[in-house]
């Protein structure tokens, strides 16, 4: 099996990807057996290629599942933690704009009684 390209994998269905992954894993197993039994140098160098191909297939599979999950949770109120924006811990814990604007009864009464003064500045 030749070098696997991620662009070619993206168009395939999940079943095809799992089938290809199984093939690559069996090929890797045979290459490892050849390594132990003292196989040719060409087979030993192919182990690296097959391992990287397995990684590519798994990466594409994980990316597509994550993409589907993002589409599923797009307009939902709650999202899984790994789909939420990372940002920083402080930003995630900060009050929202709505929460910042909320005033309790005492604050509202105080605001009505002593509103902020408006000054006319002479130009």
Residue 49: pLDDT over 80: yes
- Cα 12 to Cα 8, 35, 53, 106, distances in angstroms: 7, 32, 15, 62
Q: What average pLDDT does range 89-111 have in this prediction?
A: 96
Q: Binning pLDDT at 50, 70 and 90, where does residue 47 land?
A: very high
C-alpha 62/C-alpha 15 separation (Å) is 13
Residue 90 confidence (pLDDT): 97
C-alpha 106/C-alpha 122 separation (Å) is 35
Q: Binning pLDDT at 50, 70 and 90, where does residue 111 land?
A: very high
- Write out pLDDT tens, residues 58-91: 999 999 999 999 999 999 999 999 999 999 999 9
- Write out pLDDT tens, residues 1-32: 668 899 999 999 999 999 999 999 999 999 99
Q: Considering only CA atoms, which of 118, 1, 105, 121 is closest in space to residue 56? A: 1
Residue 123 confidence (pLDDT): 75
In this structure, what token pair is assigned to residue 78? 């709650």
Let me know: does 61 contact 6? Beta carbons within 8 Å.
Answer: no
Residue 47 CB neighbours (<10 A): 16
Residue 38 confidence (pLDDT): 85
Residue with tokens 């408006």: 118
């Amino acid at each position: 099996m030749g070098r696997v390209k991620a662009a070619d994998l993206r168009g395939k269905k999940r079943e095809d990807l799992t089938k290809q992954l199984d093939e690559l894993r069996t090929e890797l197993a045979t290459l490892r057996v050849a390594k132990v039994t003292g196989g040719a140098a060409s087979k030993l160098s192919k182990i690296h290629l097959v391992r990287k191909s397995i990684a590519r297939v798994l990466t594409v599979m994980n990316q597509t599942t994550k993409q589907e999950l993002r589409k599923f949770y797009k307009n939902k109120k709650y999202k899984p933690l790994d789909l939420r924006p990372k940002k920083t811990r402080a930003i995630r814990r900060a009050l929202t704009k709505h929460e910042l604007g909320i005033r309790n009864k005492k604050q509202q009464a105080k605001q009505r009684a002593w509103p902020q003064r408006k000054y006319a500045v002479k130009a």
